[in-house]
Amino acid sequence: MNGFPRRQCRNQMTPAELAIANAMEEVEMVGANPHLTDAIIALEKARDSVADYVDGVPHPSADQDV
């Protein structure tokens, strides 16, 4: 790897991560508007959640003491 996290390298993204990244690009091409900014933020959160799952990052709400 070249020092970048897997999740930031398009050639290492899963198909789900790549689909979300592509959707973000499409939304960004629509223009500038607070609604579109909200959409990008939601898509970023979704992409990060998928990447966390793929990378084995524990979910913050997971009860670790059980």
The angle that helices 15-30 and 34-55 make with each other, rounded to 10 degrees, is 170
**Domain assignment of residue 64, yes or no:** no
Q: What's the pTM value of the predicted model, to 2 decimals? A: 0.84
Provide φ and ψ at 59, rounded to 5°: -75, 140
**Domain assignment of residue 20, yes or no:** yes
**Domain assignment of residue 27, yes or no:** yes
Return the pLDDT at 4.
84
d(CA 7, CA 40): 17
pLDDT-based confidence at residue 11 (cuts at 50, 70, 90): very high
Q: Which domain holds residue 47?
A: 13-54
pLDDT exceeds 80 at position 18? yes
The full length of the chain comes to 66
Total structural domains within the chain: 1
Longest dimension (CA), the chain: 47
